[in-house]
Amino acid sequence: MEMIEILKGILFGVVEGITEWLPISSTGHMIILEDLVHLDVSEEFWSLFLVVIQLGAIMAVVILMFDKINPFVIDKGIKVKMGVIKLWFKVIVACIPAAIVGILFDEILEKYLYNSIVVALMLIIFGVGFILVEERPKKAFRVTRLKDLTYKDAFIVGLFQLIAAIFPGTSRSGATILGSLLIGIDRTVAAEFTFILAIPVMFGASLLKVMKIGLAFSTLEFVILIVGMLSAFVVSLIVIKFLLAYIKKHDFKVFGYYRIILGIIVLLYFFILR
């Protein structure tokens, strides 16, 4: 039975690694998967697992984008890349709205909104949003390089991230990418800024969850968390590379259609089949 739970942990890690970076809602998929493949763990551990497993995924971003996020260069001494420092200040600006709401209302939001019905509705709503945005008359993007992002751009993207922080199923990457497209940011830049933005968000959310719940869980639960994080890390390496290559030639409509179909399936499951 313990091996089965560990295999479930690996499965959750695979799903996290795929859905964290594609704009289709990782938390939404995790909640739905938990309804179908229940982990035999305590309620407190599940709440922590749902957040901390994301650390495995975020380490993939740190490795793949290290040159773009590392502000220091060692070349006959330590040099500072001011462009990267400015980028991190923009990341901080974008994090402020979701950080305030997360700190003040995390438990309330989790209690009342973290369910499959809300997930399904947000999957559909933002799926329609992606299709509508991509169907607009094509025009040149205003921002085509990370360094061209303004603090105003960062704050607006942060407001879209706030929506994702409130409503599970929105997808943090989906909300920030959609917001970026709406204000004229190139798809590749939107994806890269979303990935970088995830670093402080996920580390902060994990730290907040650990501070609230603590680390008092069983050995089996600890193993489940570790294998989940490791599988999320490995899968994330593959998915991030795939997405950055994919959006150079394609738009996001396919993810919009996927979200709508999945949302409808979830609604049918809970209202008719269950």
CA 132 – CA 153 distance, rounded (Å): 21
Q: Report domain extents, the chain.
A: 2-273
Q: Which residues of the chain have pLDDT under 50?
A: none
One DSSP character per residue, the chain reads -HHHHHHHHHHHHHHHHHHTTTTT-HHHHHHHHHHHS---S-HHHHHHHHHHTHHHHHHHHHHHTHHHH--EEESSSEEE-HHHHHHHHHHHHHHHHHHHHHHHHHHHHHHHH-SHHHHHHHHHHHHHHHHHHHTSPP---SB-SGGG--HHHHHHHHHHHHHHHHSTTS-HHHHHHHHHHHTTB-HHHHHHHHHHHHHHHHHHHHHHHHHHH-S---HHHHHHHHHHHHHHHHHHHHHHHHHHHHTTT--SHHHHHHHHHHHHHHHHIIIII-
The pLDDT assigned to 273 comes to 66
